[in-house]
Chain A
């Protein structure tokens, strides 16, 4: 069966510090991968998605970037965090060639102070 991992679970970072969140998927090949952010009381905002290694699409301009160095690894990064980057970050995957159901990781709660 497929599983998705995210780490860390929680993170407190000062403004201006770098960020690296990692997501890995097991039990499937060539998944579509997604990064979402969910701010308090708000909906899921799609940040990036990837249909293959090195292929990244950005949905909104922002202070963040994403990379997919391996088939089942998706990384969210920032060089300098802003207060507005605080939120709940979720990684998700869906099967190749389909945008049907997505399966989410446990999330990372990021607080920028």
Chain B
């Protein structure tokens, strides 16, 4: 069956460091992968989309890599700030719609 795995343990880092979150998947051949941010009690917010033919994509302090051989995407936040604290979800398109991972909580301490 198709599965998306994100680290269920929260990632704690210090302000200014680079946060790296992982998304692994099985039994998908996705044309693209997406990352979302979700704050407590709010809906997810779209951040980045990376296509299968793109190895890396950047947006301001965010960087996403996509390795279709390893079936893995890495999401990096450089120069992290306490305001980056949130849960980050990856999403892949299944047969007809997006399927979301359960997300990884990032906590950035001052």
The number of residues on chain A lying at the interface, defined by a beta carbon within 8 Å of a beta carbon of chain B, is 21
CB neighbours (8 Å) of A105 from chain B are 43
Contact flags (1/0) for A26-54 with B, using CB distance below 8 Å?
A: 00000000100000001110100100000
Q: Are A104 and B45 within 8 A (Cβ)?
A: yes
Q: Report the minimal beta-carbon distance from A100 to chain B, rounded to whole angstroms.
A: 6
Interface footprint category on B: 10 to 19
Task: Count CB-based A-B contacts (< 8 Å).
Answer: 45
Question: A109 contacts which of B41, B93, B98, B102 (Cβ < 8 Å)?
Answer: B41
Interface contact A49-B42, CB-CB below 8 Å: no
A100 and B49 contact, CB distance less than 8 A: yes
Q: Which residue of A lies closest to B44 (CB)?
A: A104
Determine the residue in chain A with the shortest Cβ distance to B43. A104
User: Please, how many angstroms separate the alpha-carbon atoms of A106 and B43 in the complex?
Assistant: 5
Binding site for A on B (CB under 8 A): 32, 34, 41-46, 49, 89, 93, 96-103
